[in-house]
Chain A
Amino acid sequence: MPRALSPEIVERSLTVTLEDAAFVFVESSPPHAAPTESEAPELSAGDLPAADLIAADLSIRGPQSCTLSLVVPRGFGVLLAANLMGVAPDSPDADQAALDAVGEILNMTSGTLAEHWLGNGASYELGTPVVTAGADVQPAALQSRATFTVHLLAEDAYPIQAMASFAPETCA
């Protein structure tokens, strides 16, 4: 039985995925809030220039549909790759796999989320993660079209934003 997609479901799905797959522990950062255009927090502000960000998008299409987006600092992508692959964070393999790792974490999160959100027996299709990095990442644009944004802090060091955008025709 489908239920409303809430920030709590997104946060739980992402937290479980990061802990089980990548051995990374996260905590809530600021309280959940639906960002408005004027209030949208700037992930790229301060010591996080856009050039150091990785973003991934993935669509879930079913009885209800949405697009999930994940924005993380590049250093966190490298850490994810290292932990997923079982190599040292300073290894060239981890650096090369940073974008792939962020896409795969979003893919796993979406599978967990779809099950909790749409129910066990629901028929749905997961899309393929689309990953961008550097100047192509536009956190403010992602936030402005997001229905809500979840803010997390990983390993006491890396700010993470997970955004959900509903497809209006299915989630009105």
Chain B
Amino acid sequence: MAYEVLVVDDSKTIRAMVKKSIMLSGLEVGEVFEAANGREALEILSQRWIDIVFADVHMPDMNGIELVEAMSKDSVLVSVPVVIVSSDRNQEHINKLQELGVRAYIKKPFKPESFRDVVKDCLTKKEGC
């Protein structure tokens, strides 16, 4: 099964870096969609099925926490796993995102192998990874 992936980050460079890491993870990928903020992400999520979302925390217009909050209130989107990929290591932010149902938190910078392990765990487990 090929997974449909959504990468959400206001930096084009980081979107490319995450996309590259997903490709190197061994995950069977269908299409990789990109959004520059939470609002754009919700628009894509409303139009097509996405199997997993990788999102940053700090973004203009709608940040990662607001995106996860919006997804958690939607009866369909609540089941889509979200992995946060961020430089922000503030434990308060991490705890809040975990309470909202975020599956995993990858701290930047990350090594490709740690990214691969998290992705595999997230897609094989139903709950947190």
Contacts and interface: CB of A to CB of B under 8 A. Distances in A.
A-side interface size class = 20 to 34
B-side interface size class = 20 to 34
B87 A20 contact: no
Contacts of B11: 100, 103-104
Given A86-B20, A111-B86, A123-B92, A17 B13 contact: no
Contacts of A81: 13
A16 interface: yes
Interface in B1-40: 11-14, 16-17, 20
A104 B20 contact: no
Interface stretch (B72-80, B108-116, B121-129): B108-116
B88 A111 contact: yes
A147 interface: no
B90 interface: yes
A167 B77 CA distance: 42
Given A21-B108, A123-B92, A85 B87 contact: no
Contacts of B111: 20
B89 interface: yes
A112 interface: yes
B13 A121 contact: no
B89 A104 contact: no
Interface in A88-127: 93, 97, 100-101, 103-104, 107-108, 110-112, 114-115, 120-126
B87 A84 contact: no
A120 B11 CA distance: 26
A81 B12 CA distance: 10
Interface of B: 11-14, 16-17, 20, 58, 86-92, 107-111
Interface of A: 16-17, 20-21, 81, 84-87, 93, 97, 100-101, 103-104, 107-108, 110-112, 114-115, 120-126, 128
